[in-house]
Amino acid sequence: MTFHPHWGLMDVYAATIPSQTFTPGVHVNYAETVLPMKDGLPKMKDFPSELGGSGESVSE
């Protein structure tokens, strides 16, 4: 897990909850990817603007 005190958020990684079904909804930091994915999901350059990023999308 990762705590983000600035936002008061805790990331709980899906892999730590084996009984939880994980369905991805978006890729973040995609401008820096080393493994391009063509899966039809939205891809963000960095983070959403609400979390301090640019909020910009990038193409698949």
- pLDDT (0 to 100) of residue 13: 85
Mean of all residue pLDDT scores within the chain: 91
Q: Is the pLDDT of residue 31 over 90?
A: yes
Instruction: Scan for tokens 């939880």, then name that residue.
Output: 20
Give the pLDDT band of residue 36 (cuts 50, 70, 90). very high
Q: Which of 23, 46, 27, 47 is nearest to 37 (CA)?
A: 27
Q: Which of 1, 8, 2, 3 is nearest to 50 (CA)?
A: 8
The average pLDDT across 40-49 equals: 94
Considering the entire predicted model, what is its pTM? 0.67
Q: How far is it, in rounded angstroms, from Cα 33 to Cα 46?
A: 10
* CA-to-CA separations, 42 to 17, 31, 32, 45, 51, in angstroms, rounded: 24, 12, 15, 10, 17
Q: Is the pLDDT of residue 54 over 90?
A: yes
The average pLDDT across 47-55 equals: 91
